[in-house]
Amino acid sequence: MSQITVTLPDGSERSLQEGSTGIDLATEIGPGLARAALVIEENGEARDLAAPLHDGAKVRILTDRDQDSLEHIRHSTAHVLAQAVLQLFPGATFAGGPPIENGFYYDFELPGGASFSDEDLITIEARMREIIAADQPFERFELPIDEARELMVDHPYKRVFMDLAAAGDDSDNEVGTGSEISFYRNSDTFVDMCRGPHVPSTGRLGHFKLTRHGGAYFRGSEKNPMLQRIYAVAFANKKDLAAFLKQQEEAAKRDHRRLGVELDLFSFPEEIGSGLAVFHPKGGLIRKVMEDYSRAQHEAAGYEFVYSPHITKENLFKTSGHLEWYAEGMYPPMELDREGDQPGTAYYLKPMNCPFHILIYRSRQRSYRDLPLRLFEFGTVYRYEKSGVVHGLTRARGFAQDDAHIFTTPEMMEEEVSGLLDFVLDMLRDYGLDDFYLELSTRPEDKAIGTEEEWDRATEVLRSAASSKDLELVMDPGGGAFYAPKISVQARDAIGRTWQMSTIQVDLMLPQRFDLSYIGADGEKHRPVMIHRALFGSVERFFAVLLEHYAGAFPLWLAPTQAAILPVSTAHDSYARDIAARMRTSGYRVEVIEAAETLGNRIRRAKGEKLPYVLVVGDDDVANNTVGVNARGNDVERDVPLDDFLTRFAQELLERGS
């Protein structure tokens, strides 16, 4: 019998009998590896351990220690989920179940249009553990498509995947595009169509948890039937699973909706309506500091401040194209001045500020000497978000954008965009975010005005500016607005989640629709380019991101109350009030919590509010003009001279540090 040779990752070669498999190779290298092996990579492509190896292949055996094994562990666990559901719910059918970040999901359709309950997840998970305990092997086999259709006769969604694959569309990643359809058999009763590979047997799995269930459209389209999806997380070992669950708990504690209530920052009164927030004094103070700093920075960067109304006659949004392309995101119109049968005038709440700023531009003849003209406004916009998507401050129906529109010549636009990106990133860093990547969103296929050529030109400007920064650039095909492509800045927060923050759009369309012009050095009329940009994105969303990023413990410059002064007893009240008065004259935000309760209790409450500084003053302090300093996250210091503390306080404010 002839031999084959394979190359291991360290460059060494192994000779094996022809027909040898990954598991044969692992066994030959060592029994420990054979026990730990999950899948094998052959020339970079993952395959089953039971598959025969090819001569000359570069191979790599993946164990549970390899990050690359995770998707196979997750994908294999998804099959166990499918098996459990099909067994527990007779008549159920299944669609797709891919691995995703941290886990996997699987889509089902239950008989009679039923859905899963929370209790079902417990039952299903228990059955999954039985399947895992049974250590069923994953056995691959392949069938021609007509036999495959026969095998999946009860599972119409699987047949849709086959048809798509047969037509060359494997966007769902369910089956390969070869002439045969591959399957995996787990027991006499369960077979799933799948491209594989899988771990050798179900006994290799087990560190998973079913997390949620919910509806999901088949293949992600609203036009398709809604299936029932179960989500799960899965890891290679117990420790990773526990760490992930712990991190979820931490994220839940930071949830801005929860902190908003606990810290008395904002609320969503039912009386006002879904997605419409009010900011309470403490939240309002934070927001004001955020906005004040933003204004100061914009002023320094050459922006001018404008204001515009919340509503407008419909014509403005007809000209801009919003009514044609964005109407479903807008509140319905209100009709004014109706007389008898004569229709009145329709007014709309604005979903964007750009048309208003355009009118400011157009209010007079512009010269190239005026450009770039940078108009800035904290403009409140209203968008009629679908009821299912409203989510705290991050997805509201009314919110303020720190919106600016820069009108510039085509020649200057590239430089303007590049400078803008620096401005944006610097400012985000000032607010405490420093881990970014960029995303470039291109022309939406069937929801865009203008020609492809113009889009290409605008997109190229963004691309070149983005790639000149030393940041990762991710493509988002078709994700642009109807009038322009955009760069968005994605920021990672303190616990690694990413948020879409700033957006920058290069717009060649609206200047045309509004027939904007400027007089060039040649005395002729030219068309300006418009750059739309919002740095916070929405003030509300940015507020929420900072709140979660800092877990409510805002840095000194943003904290609504910067220090609480606690007299040990009533005898020290006036000393405490004197310090407070002195600090207030410097503009510091200070409160005195008098000795109506025990000191321990007052400290506890101040700590609960996550105040940066708690100052305790007693007999010694009154005698020596000192304070006891209990700084957030630090040990208690006694007998700190007041002037020293104030110097330190001022310094920390200046550094805007956290």
Partner RNA sequence: GCCCCCUUAGCUCAGUCGGCAGAGCGCUUCCAUGGUAAGGAAGAGGUCGUCAGUUCAAUUCUGACAGGGGGCUCCA
Q: Which residues are designated catalytic?
A: 354, 383, 401, 403, 405, 486, 532
Which residue type sits at 549? H
Nearer to RNA, 200 or 355 (CB): 355
- Among positions 409, 479, 513, 653, the unique one binding RNA when judged by CB under 7 A: 479
Question: Residue written as tokens 């927060």?
Answer: 493
Residue 251 in contact with RNA, rule: CB under 7 A:
no
Residue 598 in contact with RNA, rule: CB under 7 A:
yes
Give least dist CB 163 to RNA, A.
20
The DSSP bridge pattern shows strands 613-617 and 626-631 to be antiparallel
- Among positions 426, 607, 641, 647, the unique one binding RNA when judged by CB under 7 A: 607
Phi, psi (degrees; rounded to nearest 5) at 410: -55, -35
Taking CB atoms within 8 Å and a gap of at least 24, the contacts of 66-71 are 68/41, 69/38, 69/39, 69/236, 70/99, 70/234, 70/235, 70/236, 71/99
Residue 295 in contact with RNA, rule: CB under 7 A:
no
Binding to RNA, residues 207-236 (CB under 7 A): 212-217, 220-222, 226, 228-229, 231
Tokens of 323: 């009514």
Nearer to RNA, 116 or 138 (CB): 116
Tokens of 512: 């045309």
Tokens of 350: 């604005």
Binding to RNA, residues 573-592 (CB under 7 A): none
Give least dist CB 59 to RNA, A.
35
For the packed helices 118-133 and 70-88, what is the interaxial angle rounded to 10 degrees? 110
In whole angstroms, give the CA distance from residue 645 to residue 647: 5
Q: Are the beta carbons of 425 and 556 closer than 8 angstroms?
A: no
Residue 390 in contact with RNA, rule: CB under 7 A:
yes
Give least dist CB 511 to RNA, A.
19
Q: Output the 3-class SS for 22-39.
A: HHHHHHHHCHHHHHHEEE
The DSSP bridge pattern shows strands 563-567 and 590-592 to be parallel
Task: Give CA torsion, residues 541, 544, 549, 552, to 10 deg.
Answer: 160
Nearer to RNA, 95 or 236 (CB): 95
- Among positions 274, 365, 467, 586, the unique one binding RNA when judged by CB under 7 A: 274
In whole angstroms, give the CA distance from residue 105 to residue 571: 64
Nearer to RNA, 18 or 619 (CB): 619
Binding to RNA, residues 323-362 (CB under 7 A): 329
- Among positions 621, 642, 645, 652, the unique one binding RNA when judged by CB under 7 A: 621
Residue 245 in contact with RNA, rule: CB under 7 A:
no
Give least dist CB 614 to RNA, A.
6
Residue 608 in contact with RNA, rule: CB under 7 A:
yes
Give least dist CB 640 to RNA, A.
9
Nearer to RNA, 303 or 326 (CB): 326
228, 154, 151: which is closest to 191 by C-alpha? 151
In whole angstroms, give the CA distance from residue 504 to residue 31: 57
Tokens of 140: 């691959």
Contact characters 523-552, RNA, x per CB under 7 A = -----------x--xx-xx-----------
In whole angstroms, give the CA distance from residue 552 to residue 550: 5
Half-sphere exposure (Cβ direction) of 305: Cα atoms closer than 13 Å: 11
User: Alpha carbon 509 to chain centroid distance?
Assistant: 29
Contact characters 156-195, RNA, x per CB under 7 A = ----------------------------------------
307, 328, 467: which is closest to 378 by C-alpha? 307
Binding to RNA, residues 82-141 (CB under 7 A): 115-118
Binding to RNA, residues 5-64 (CB under 7 A): none
Residues 6+ apart with CB under 8 A from 19: 1, 52
Stretch that binds RNA, among 37-45, 317-325, 389-397, 581-589 (CB under 7 A): 389-397
Give least dist CB 232 to RNA, A.
12
Stretch that binds RNA, among 3-11, 144-152, 409-417, 619-627 (CB under 7 A): 619-627
Binding to RNA, residues 406-465 (CB under 7 A): 444
Give least dist CB 255 to RNA, A.
7
Give least dist CB 225 to RNA, A.
9
In whole angstroms, give the CA distance from residue 282 to residue 288: 10
Stretch that binds RNA, among 137-145, 168-176, 522-530, 563-571 (CB under 7 A): 563-571
**DSSP assignment letter at 470:** S
In whole angstroms, give the CA distance from residue 649 to residue 632: 13
Contact characters 253-272, RNA, x per CB under 7 A = ----x---xx-----x-x--
Give least dist CB 198 to RNA, A.
24
- Among positions 185, 318, 391, 577, the unique one binding RNA when judged by CB under 7 A: 391
75, 108, 105, 77: which is closest to 90 by C-alpha? 108
Residue 153 in contact with RNA, rule: CB under 7 A:
no
561, 557, 563, 558: which is closest to 640 by C-alpha? 563
Q: With CB under 7 A, what is the number of residues at the site for RNA?
A: 83
Residue 389 in contact with RNA, rule: CB under 7 A:
yes
Give least dist CB 432 to RNA, A.
18
Nearer to RNA, 262 or 415 (CB): 262
In whole angstroms, give the CA distance from residue 53 to residue 22: 7
Nearer to RNA, 212 or 238 (CB): 212
